[in-house]
Structure 1
Amino acid sequence: MRVAVIGAGVGGIAAAIKLRRSTSASVVIYEQSAGVGGTWFDNRYPGCEVDVHSHAYSLSFLKYDWPRTHATQPELLAYVQHVVERFGLTPHLRLNTRVTDLVWEESTQTYRLSTEHGDSEEFDVVISALGLLNVPRYPDWPGLDTFSGPCFHTSRWQDQDLTGKSVAVVGTGSTAVQIVPAIAPAARQVYVFQRQPGWIEPKNEREFTPRQRWVFRNVPLAQRLNRAWIFHKGNRRFKGYDVGSRYQRRMRGLCERFIATSIQDPATRAAVTPDYPWGCKRPVLSSTFYPALNRGNVELVPHPVAKVTPTGVLDATGTHRDADVLILSTGFQPTKFLSSLDVKGVDGRSIHDVWRERASAFLGITVPGFPNFFMLYGPNTNGGVSVIAQLERQAEVVVRAVRRLERTGARTVDTSPDAARRFLAWIDRRMATSASAMNAGCHNYYHDQAGHNVTQWPAGHLAYALATRLLSPFGLRTPH
């Protein structure tokens, strides 16, 4: 069987490895960028690093000598390249090649895959590993196009000498809290525009000691046991998303103590303290952002941007601040799944037409009427402890489906519409009591325009591992 993987981030790489190890399928990996790594290839801003422990934010089947508890962007990029070389994937890569269209051909029961270069090929199975946070969200502020200095989104970073410059950073999410401490020592002035505060926890990142690295390299179970402990703590931490739980109070208390001990100015402390439940929006981990706000050249502006002028930024109170450089840490468009790809399934129906009211998929992986098409990081799969673990479970569903096709001689596997409906109903029931519910009082990236939470998985990773193992045989059907 011929399998196409679209995307050479960690998810696409994991799927290719598992397919080559457990099936006889031939695999081609398409990647629109010039190198592998996905989000870690695209994002190169100062201070860029992951906020999940290295031993959890890595593939379970490969031991690796991590130098730090939380890997930096260059370290993660080197890791992905190591994985590619270790498992011999380089000949299977087609870099600088964006896939534009997939069309199901009923006569051959294959997908016709087309690229931006005008090429087309047929594949028996296609896996989309396009990721979730890769399409930047650009604001529509009046006057944005009139700004006279450098202006760019964090995921499209432009190398600038910020020495002696006045810099406006818009946003206080996971990216901005890494950038601000990294650029503050060089910049003359940094203005941090905050639309709404987020709950921030201490990250506690550090270098591993030489002894610790030796143990993780040489004691066979050390890295696995540490990984298991991280997942245990993460699954327990997930209980905090229940707004009435003891863990919710514990997490809020942790964050409030962190504010009290890290920020000197009482007004700033008040401005960064949210008035909504912990977990309503993605919790941020950073040990350096709050201390950076104590610097004399860093000012928190606790108001949204109202307008951009050629020389600076006007906030919602009408106050203008001059800026030489404008950095947009304004997030992504995660609810627009497969936005760069047009997929047509049975009877030529587009997946975007199917998703006109709401994006959904069985286990976040498959959609009825789109046989042999699988998604990694699809609707309602963001969460757990580490997205890498979620991606591995999804890749294993694909592997089992391909093995079933090989074993039975069937040409297609499709999704039961009833199973897809039941799964979606369960998602909505679980989301109703979560801190990330639409009416919890915060702005987050989880909901589509109609108010559906289409991105988050409403439980821990163990629950997702069990669901993908136990439910996929009932939801994925091959013809008799």
Structure 2
Amino acid sequence: MSKFSQQQEAWMKIVVIGTGFAGIGMAVRLKQAGYDDFVVLERAADVGGTWRDNTYPGCRCDVPSHLYSFSFAPNPDWSSTFSPQPEIEDYLRKVTDLYGVRPHIRFNHAVESAHWEDGRWRIATSQGEFTADILLSGMGPLAEPSYPELPGIEDFEGDVFHSARWDHDLDLAGRKVAVIGTGASAIQFVPAIQPEVEELHLFQRTPPWVMPRPDRKITPLEKSIYRRFPLAQKAVRAGIYWARESMVLGFAKLPAIMRQAQKVAEKHLAHQIRDPKLRAELTPDFTLGCKRVLISDDYYPAVAQPNVDVVTDGIAEVTRTGIVTTEGVKHEVDTIIYGTGFKVTDLPVMDLVHGRDGVSLRDAWSDGMEAHLGTAVAGFPNFFMLIGPNTGLGHSSMVFMIESQIAYILDALRTMDRKGLQQVEVRREVQRAFVDGVRASMRNTVWTRGGCSSWYLDAQGRNTTLWPSFTFRFRRLTRRFKVAEYLAM
């Protein structure tokens, strides 16, 4: 019996979930390819994805602006070489309107479930039901905040929030703040709040490697040149792209290269942290690149200020008025801010999407996330993912990967139309061969042999998040949809 009511449903050929870079990029390309019978379901009231939700002080991208944008929609007006969050969110809004996809978006439509039934997808949302021939997920891995399990947190009498759900109504001036985590978000907001708080207790489980940030303002002359001569900006983008691609040599091909890069990070740390004890606490014990490499020029100076206490002991419990470490030291605080990242190996889409025989993605991935080209999953007909397993990057722009997947999906749709196919489902043996190849390529990379435990790895210690090679190789693999790799009917 169908899990859906018998009320009339809205039918669309294609349903896209999410309005971050993946969803908006997919919508633009669908429209350009002549597909008008599609909707984009968005749980929030506006577009933007992670760049709408993450509004913490100091939030910005750590990939250069000219590369962190759509190839078909260059922005000559970036203010700096590394874009701040409000500019990226505004960029996505402008692309949405410029390419006419806003009418296709259904805002405040949170997807509650999607089931493959009777040869089509039935999607339940918070505001009604949809039926579609094709389901495309643009739900990225940086969507749902990850919260650590802290004994006693429910008894804490102060304020608690995650950096991805920043409480802008709370004035931090004069407060005693505990920050839990020292990842990519924390190293951005810690320098922003440090001057205003009375005390900042930074709970660090593992120190990150931090490289200098080569950021600068983009001059009015440069912007004028980009507007008048788009090829100039395209050339700059290409230069950034190939410079970033060269980093793969250290990450995945010749790990010895990382030792030279690590010397740069060590020098950066030594230059900005003079206190030997604090410097030792902030020095990682793993190879640079094993965890996400962070970039900042103001994190270390902020941490060195007198009102900041770096806590390297584990957390034993939270009391009504503070945090007690495993060494029995109590830190009196009135505010706790989680800088603990996202559920990148426990994606929300895993519980929402159900394929053949009602099998959820979570069940299908009980032995780890996997998908052919990070895009198609065996047992899930007419379903394609953007930013799926093993498409993440440690060196370059995810927008490049997204555009590669979009081109692959569009070729799949054109192939289905041309051949009159109603269903395509990747063959399990094809998916297995691809995943085995990725895992073989991952064995000697810094991500698996760098001596650390990172969010790149799943519970079995496998890297199911990153792409272990050059992005141009991924683009080559996704250039054409090969119908022979699919069960087609």
- The two structures have a TM-score, normalised by structure 2, of 0.93
> Could you say which residue in structure 1 is the equivalent of 2:389?
379
Q: Aligned to 1:173, what secondary structure does the other structure show?
A: coil
Mapped partners of 2:213, 2:25: distance in 1: 27
Q: 1:275 to 1:85 in 2, by over 3 A?
A: same
Counterpart of 1:146 in structure 2: which amino acid?
A: D
Instruction: Give the alignment partner of residue 88 of structure 2, picking from 50, 71, 76.
Output: 76
**1:460, distance to aligned residue in structure 2 (A):** 2.3
Counterpart of 2:115 in structure 1: which amino acid?
A: V
Counterpart of 2:48 in structure 1: which amino acid?
A: G
Mapped partners of 1:478, 1:409: distance in 2: 14
1:36 is aligned to 2:38: no
Instruction: Give the alignment partner of residue 13 of structure 1, picking from 19, 24, 31.
Output: 24
> Could you say which residue in structure 2 is the equivalent of 1:463?
473
Contact 2:350 2:360 in 1 (8 A): no
Mapped partners of 2:363, 2:151: distance in 1: 32
**1:443, distance to aligned residue in structure 2 (A):** 2.5
**Cα deviation per residue 1:432-470 (whole Å; 9 max; x = unaligned)?**
111111x64323111221222111111121121112125
Instruction: Give the alignment partner of residue 69 of structure 2, picking from 53, 58, 69.
Output: 58
Counterpart of 1:78 in structure 2: which amino acid?
A: D
Mapped partners of 2:311, 2:348: distance in 1: 35
> Could you say which residue in structure 2 is the equivalent of 1:398?
409
> Could you say which residue in structure 1 is the equivalent of 2:302?
292
Instruction: Give the alignment partner of residue 422 of structure 1, picking from 422, 425, 433.
Output: 433
Worse-superposed segment, 341-350 or 207-216:
341-350
**Cα deviation per residue 1:350-380 (whole Å; 9 max; x = unaligned)?**
3222111111000010011211100011111
Unaligned runs of 5+ in 1: none
Instruction: Give the alignment partner of residue 150 of structure 1, picking from 131, 153, 159.
Output: 159
Mapped partners of 1:325, 1:345: distance in 2: 43
**Cα deviation per residue 1:95-121 (whole Å; 9 max; x = unaligned)?**
111112222233xx221111123x222
Contact 2:252 2:442 in 1 (8 A): no
> Number of residues paired by the alignment?
475
1:193 is aligned to 2:193: no
**1:475, distance to aligned residue in structure 2 (A):** 6.2
Contact 1:196 1:274 in 2 (8 A): yes
**Cα deviation per residue 1:374-432 (whole Å; 9 max; x = unaligned)?**
00111111015101111111111111111111111111122122211111111111111
Contact 2:144 2:348 in 1 (8 A): no
> Could you say which residue in structure 2 is the equivalent of 1:361?
371
> Could you say which residue in structure 1 is the equivalent of 2:418?
407
Contact 1:99 1:341 in 2 (8 A): no
1:452 is aligned to 2:462: yes
> Could you say which residue in structure 2 is the equivalent of 1:139?
148
Mapped partners of 2:249, 2:327: distance in 1: 38
Q: 1:97 to 1:295 in 2, by over 3 A?
A: same
Counterpart of 1:143 in structure 2: which amino acid?
A: G
* Equivalences for residues 320-339 of structure 1 within 5 A: 320-339=330-349
Mapped partners of 1:44, 1:306: distance in 2: 30
**Cα deviation per residue 1:266-317 (whole Å; 9 max; x = unaligned)?**
1111111111111111111112101112222222222332221211122232
**1:340, distance to aligned residue in structure 2 (A):** 6.3
Mapped partners of 1:353, 1:288: distance in 2: 44
> Could you say which residue in structure 1 is the equivalent of 2:5?
none
**1:202, distance to aligned residue in structure 2 (A):** 1.1
Q: 1:250 to 1:306 in 2, by over 3 A?
A: same
Q: Aligned to 1:406, what secondary structure does the other structure show?
A: helix
Counterpart of 1:129 in structure 2: which amino acid?
A: G
Contact 1:100 1:341 in 2 (8 A): no
> Could you say which residue in structure 2 is the equivalent of 1:270?
280
* Equivalences for residues 94-173 of structure 1 within 5 A: 94-106=106-118, 109-117=119-127, 119-159=128-168, 160-173=170-183
> Could you say which residue in structure 2 is the equivalent of 1:443?
453
Contact 1:144 1:307 in 2 (8 A): yes
Q: 1:93 to 1:372 in 2, by over 3 A?
A: same
**1:76, distance to aligned residue in structure 2 (A):** 1.1
* Equivalences for residues 164-243 of structure 1 within 5 A: 164-242=174-252
Q: 1:453 to 1:246 in 2, by over 3 A?
A: closer
Q: Which runs of 4+ in 1 moved over 4 A?
A: none
RMSD: 1.7
Contact 1:240 1:278 in 2 (8 A): no
Counterpart of 2:174 in structure 1: which amino acid?
A: G
Q: Aligned to 1:436, what secondary structure does the other structure show?
A: helix
Counterpart of 1:69 in structure 2: which amino acid?
A: T
Unaligned runs of 5+ in 2: 1-11
Q: 1:325 to 1:17 in 2, by over 3 A?
A: same
Percent identical pairs in the alignment equals 37
Instruction: Give the alignment partner of residue 79 of structure 2, picking from 55, 67, 73.
Output: 67
**1:327, distance to aligned residue in structure 2 (A):** 0.5
Q: Aligned to 2:446, what secondary structure does the other structure show?
A: coil
- The two structures have a TM-score, normalised by structure 1, of 0.95
Q: Aligned to 1:231, what secondary structure does the other structure show?
A: helix
Mapped partners of 1:185, 1:347: distance in 2: 56
Worse-superposed segment, 183-192 or 291-300:
291-300
Mapped partners of 1:443, 1:451: distance in 2: 8
Mapped partners of 2:313, 2:15: distance in 1: 46
Mapped partners of 1:26, 1:150: distance in 2: 46
**1:151, distance to aligned residue in structure 2 (A):** 0.7
Contact 1:420 1:475 in 2 (8 A): no
**1:474, distance to aligned residue in structure 2 (A):** 5.8
Counterpart of 1:186 in structure 2: which amino acid?
A: E
Contact 1:146 1:310 in 2 (8 A): yes
Contact 2:31 2:101 in 1 (8 A): no
Mapped partners of 1:262, 1:232: distance in 2: 30
Contact 2:179 2:339 in 1 (8 A): yes
